[in-house]
Amino acid sequence: MTTEKITGTKVIDAEGAYITPGGIDAHVHLDQDDFPNGDTFETGTRSAIAGGTTSIIAFALQPKGQHDLEKAVDNYFERTECGAYCDYGFHLILSDPTPEVLKQLPRMVERGLTSLKVFTTYPMYKINDSELLDVLLETRKLKITMMIHAENYDVIKYLNEKLEQKKLTDPYYHAVSRPEEAEDEASYRVITLSKFVDTPILIVHMSCEASINHVENAQKKLLPVYAETCPQYLFLTSDYLKAGCEHHVHPEDPFEGAKYICSPPLRADTTELDGVWRKIQNGTVTIFSSDHAPSIYEHPNGKKRGLINGLPHYQHIPNGLSGVETRVPLLFCYGVETGRITPQRFVELCSTNPAKIYGLSETKGSIGVGMDADITIWYPKGKMLPFELTNEMLHHQIDHTAFAGMTFTNWPKYTVVRGELVWDRDNGGIVGKLGFGKFLKRGASALAGPRKELNPILA
């Protein structure tokens, strides 16, 4: 029920339901060159507010060979000209960190891009260990939040070749080609390098207990090492990649497993998922993001790119799942409402910690005087009719969701961005205006920067 009490003030009666800070989804791929038919800033942020997210951080990509960062980033700012429904920022993806490129990082910080992502894998983006050391030194100096995609490139390449020789190219073999050991080794390695350089890191989209154990061990030694995980690693197993899986919306389609390809991949069984849940519960995992990286299924440049002359080739299938709308409701229903985590832990993972890590905590991530009024209001427990998710209920422009068929016992009833009601589930759905979302010029992370004297060899 909403009532007009004081002129110009809308009063929302939460009827005893939880009111939580708006979600901050700090890992969202929108309109990226490598996702040519994913979501735009319009459709991705529309989907975000419908799922209780009030800020997103997307990526501006430096392609290999592009040594003018200003130009690379301008190109991504232009993609926001369509407008956004919620606030947004950019991380920089650095794929070619030459000395000339690293000199331009202070300018990126000035523009509010105070975080960057590097990859230890993917031929297009991979940097080697010496390049990583160079980047770590710069992020230390400039207090940039360092996000690392950690999987061992050579192991994956080796296994790809083996699987190709054996003609094992169905979507399922994507998971076989990227075993836990590849993530485990790379996670340990990047933690070791960050310790050497004495600078914080955040390992993104961590998928398994083995690699998160390294983060936990580092944290026990009080090292500033942080972990991100995502819904797919709590709810889906690699069985979903197999033809005819019982969870598929179209089990008759032998290529349906392509919809579940992401990197790191879904892991083998529910014991693995429980392992990641434990790391959420015990506080090791710092933030919970969607890694919204969508591609349309029925599109020659989307997931179907991997179907060549009727034969599946997992190496050609775009990686990534969509999930910006389902992230917050999934953790609320399966974490808070089942009693697996406290509401406080939920808020930390979805809002407060991303704000701290990414230099937004002065205005975002909690509810308080002087903060932006970014708010999600839920249904009072038991007051929403549980439903099974279908893709048609979502607001992205993608033709599938990996979470179809899951039961939701709650969902954001209202989403408020900077005091404006933008989502009213029972009265019109999206009620916000395209263009209301503002660029977030972010400050330094509360967690970045040096801890002790720099090793003299590195000075």
183 touches Zn ion by CB under 5 A: no
Q: What gap in Å lies between CA 449 and CA 312, rounded to an integer?
A: 46
Residue 262's binding partner out of ligand URP, Zn ion, none, with CB under 5 to 8 Å set by partner kind: ligand URP
148 touches ligand URP by CB under 6 A: no
State in angstroms the smallest separation of the CB of 255 from ligand URP. Answer: 17
Residue 319's binding partner out of Zn ion, ligand URP, none, with CB under 5 to 8 Å set by partner kind: ligand URP
Asked if residue 354 has a cis previous peptide bond (ω within 30° of 0), the answer is no
Stretch that binds Zn ion, among 89-97, 176-184, 284-292, 311-319 (CB under 5 A): 284-292
Sorted by sequence, the CB contacts under 8 Å of residue 47 that are 6+ apart come out as 39, 292, 322, 324, 325, 394, 395, 396
Our CB check for ligand URP shows the closer of 154 and 362 to be 154
Residue 46's binding partner out of ligand URP, Zn ion, none, with CB under 5 to 8 Å set by partner kind: none
Cα-flanking dihedrals φ and ψ of residue 59, to 5°? -125, 140
291 touches Zn ion by CB under 5 A: yes
State in angstroms the smallest separation of the CB of 205 from Zn ion. Answer: 6
Cα-flanking dihedrals φ and ψ of residue 28, to 5°? -135, 125
Q: Of 119, 70, 71, 73, whose CA–CA distance to 96 is shortest? A: 119
> Could you tell me whether strands 429-430 and 420-424 are parallel, antiparallel, or unpaired per DSSP bridges?
antiparallel
Phi-psi map region of 337: left, alpha, beta (phi>0 left; psi -120 to 50 alpha): alpha
CB 321 within 8 A of CB 260: yes
262 touches ligand URP by CB under 6 A: yes
Stretch that binds Zn ion, among 40-48, 148-156, 343-351, 388-396 (CB under 5 A): 148-156
149 touches Zn ion by CB under 5 A: yes
| Residue selected from 211, 263, 290, 410 as contacting ligand URP according to rule CB under 6 A | 263
The H helix count followed by the E strand count for the chain is 14, 19
Residue tagged 């800033």 (tokens): 41
| Residue selected from 46, 126, 149, 400 as contacting ligand URP according to rule CB under 6 A | 149
Residue 348's binding partner out of ligand URP, Zn ion, none, with CB under 5 to 8 Å set by partner kind: none
Our CB check for Zn ion shows the closer of 291 and 424 to be 291
45 touches ligand URP by CB under 6 A: no
57 touches ligand URP by CB under 6 A: no
Q: What gap in Å lies between CA 403 and CA 141, rounded to an integer?
A: 41
152 touches ligand URP by CB under 6 A: no
Q: What gap in Å lies between CA 198 and CA 214, rounded to an integer?
A: 16
Residue tagged 């509360």 (tokens): 446
CB 422 within 8 A of CB 86: yes
Our CB check for Zn ion shows the closer of 149 and 174 to be 149
Our CB check for ligand URP shows the closer of 127 and 336 to be 127
331 touches ligand URP by CB under 6 A: no
Q: Which positions lie near Zn ion, rule CB under 5 A?
A: 149, 291
Q: Which positions lie near ligand URP, rule CB under 6 A?
A: 29, 149, 205, 262-263, 291, 293, 319-320
